Amino acid sequence: MKFPKTDLPLREPALLVLAYRYLVKDENGEVVETPEEMFWRVARTVAEAESFFGEDPEPWAEKFYHLMASLDFLPNSPTLMNAGLPLGQLSACFVLPIEDSLASIFETLKNAALIHKSGGGTGFSFSRIRPKGDVVRSTQGVASGPVSFMRVFNAATEAIKQGGKRRGANMGILRIDHPDIEDFILVKRDFKELTNFNLSVALTDAFMEALRKDDYFSLINPRTQKEVRRVRARRLFDLLVESAWLTGDPGVIFIDTINRDNPTPLLSEIESTNPCSEQPLLPYESCNLGSINLSRFVKEGQVDYVRLKEVVHLAVRFLDNVIEVNRFPLPQIARITRLNRKIGLGVMGFADLLIRLEIPYTSREAVRLAEEIMAFIERESVAASMELGQKRGSFPAYAGSVWDKPETPHMRNATTTTIAPTGTLSLIAGTSSGIEPLFALIYRRRAFDGAEWTEVHDLFLEALAHYGLSSQDIVSEILEKGSLRKISGVPEKLKKLFVTALEIPPEQHLAVQAAFQRHTHNAVSKTINLPENATKEEVAHIYLKAYEMGLKGVTVYRYGSRPEQVLRLPKDKCPDCGNTLKNREYCLLCENCGYSECG
């Protein structure tokens, strides 16, 4: 495939993924749109909402275009893919309810298929489904349990590509007090099981208290609300920790912590999140996400808060407009989404920002800056939403919400902030993913003709040149030894500044996540990367510490614990077409069909 022509500062990996997944193609599969035209397509579509409120769309379209084309901000992928096209579905994440009946289960499966086709990801709580072996009175038979139905959802997802551009992504959640929780915890120890699902156990305050006391814990049949049996909380926790240590699944969410921050508790409880767990949502709710590229907000050695404020306010308006022009896949989703009008403005490029400011990711200053930046974004995004609320009206579920108070008499959106992983978006923007540290300094490249070469992180090359060091020699040593810290002759300052994910202590990963979470309405997507020799005790400590710190969830990943991990050896194959996957900065890309995995 030819790279599209552009005058924008887009790197080769960005052009590749844009050509495969985002730019409009003709009936022969040939790209007929440039990146500039894509941004204009999106900008004009989103600006159409201005006319609903008596504004001229054209000047706003120009502002939205420059917001994206500058790579200061990018909306979630479905907005870039579908805006201005017949599909018109612009949301990234959805939660669908599942009740304890075949009719509900398969209605939800149908709805999930429609969402996947439109480019969205889905989250489900299977906690209402009766346990395996329970009575089914209508047939005088026995129930097969939630895990069996998850396999059905997984098979359906396998058959559907999201809009022909993205593979289906699911989050499956089960409460810790469900009688089938052991089966759920163990299921993905078989690497062939539930390959289209991320799994999370919903841990409750009651369970964490039983764990603290080393007490027994009741498992409850959701059909009868009666106790089935009692188990030691410690035994369940150890089983969960062992599975996460072995495979990276399941993660955990702290469901009571999430519901304490539910902005509209009168509507419903939150039971599930989107596939990467950064967006807790009510049943049938969707959310529109977007991320600010922090690496572009450095001016004279400091964070440029003046320009950041401008971008926050413009991004909030952009995301609110998306709700107006969105073509929702189901009427139930349109209803609840418009009731709450949740948006999720987050960040990417945090690691690159720290490098530009010469602040090590492992330092206290990094945590302090994380909190300062996110507090600023939260404060300004709320101010922007209040201004929109005064002009356009508050979200319809405002009465009785957490915003229904004198200090916020107008509020356009029930939430304004979310930290997403931004895998593909950060690839387009040419920056580090979300709030993650760098995973590596060096990446292998392969051209379409098969030629291979080594590419090094841009800021690392700049730093080597600044210190008068030979990039060729140091790159060769990193390839040989696997780490900058093992190389002699490199200043200690550089070793600290260019630390990578597996070299960072879990406590620092958690501290950064907590700093962002304290100023994020929704949740934070963050992986606690662990080296291959990490212990189960370290995983247990991470889970306990995350709960104590008030996090809404946590995911651990021990390097090499799954054969299909996101950053892996070049021999790994594309699940769509079987071609070899290639590392391209923060993603693996298939040069044959465009499949990608980013992290």
What pLDDT is stored for residue 475 in this prediction?
A: 86
Q: Say if residue 107's pLDDT is above 60.
A: yes
Residue 480 to residue 357: CA distance in whole angstroms? 29
pLDDT of residue 582: 62
How many Cα atoms occupy the beta-carbon half-sphere of 156 within 13 Å?
20
pLDDT of residue 598: 46
Rg (CA), the chain: 23
Instruction: Write down the pLDDT at residue 588.
Output: 58
Confidence of residue 13 (pLDDT cuts 50, 70, 90): confident
| Token duo for residue 106 | 């398969």
Report the distance separating Cα 170 and Cα 160, nearest Å. Answer: 12
Active site residues: 274, 276, 278
pLDDT at 569 over 60: no
Whole-prediction pTM value?
Answer: 0.92
Torsion of CA 193, 422, 520, 378, to 10 degrees: -170
Q: Which two tokens stand for residue 132?
A: 């395996």
Percentage of the chain surpassing pLDDT 70? 90
Per-residue model confidence (pLDDT) at position 453: 45
As a whole number, mean pLDDT of residues 390-405 equals: 98
- pLDDT at position 386 is 98
Closest CA to 38 of 17, 24, 21, 27: 24
pLDDT in tens, 296-320: 999 999 999 999 999 999 999 999 9
The side-by-side arrangement of strands in the sheet containing 596-598 is 581-584, 587-590, 596-598
User: Can you tell me the distance from the alpha carbon of 40 to that of 45, in angstroms, rounded to the nearest whole number?
Assistant: 8
584 to 16, 98, 213, 246: CA distances (angstroms)? 10, 38, 47, 27
pLDDT digits (tens, 9 = 90+) for 69-83: 999 999 999 999 999
Q: First vs last Cα of the chain: how many Å apart?
A: 24
Per cent of the chain over pLDDT 90 is 81
At residue 574, does pLDDT exceed 80?
no
Query: Which tens digits make up the pLDDT trace of 233-287?
Result: 999 999 999 999 999 999 999 999 999 999 999 999 999 999 999 999 999 999 9
In this prediction, residues 141-149 reach a mean pLDDT of 95
Lowest mean pLDDT among 9-13, 72-76, 190-194, 457-461: 9-13
What gap in Å lies between CA 370 and CA 349, rounded to an integer?
12
pLDDT, tens digit (0-9, with 9 covering 90-100), for 169-181: 999 999 999 999 9
Residue 30: pLDDT above 90?
yes
Mean pLDDT over each residue of the chain, to the nearest integer: 92
The whole-number average pLDDT for the span 504-531 is 97
Residue 270 CB burial class (10 angstroms; 0-12, 13-18, ≥19): buried
> pLDDT class for 443, splitting at 50, 70, 90?
low
Contact 93, 237 (CB under 8 A): no
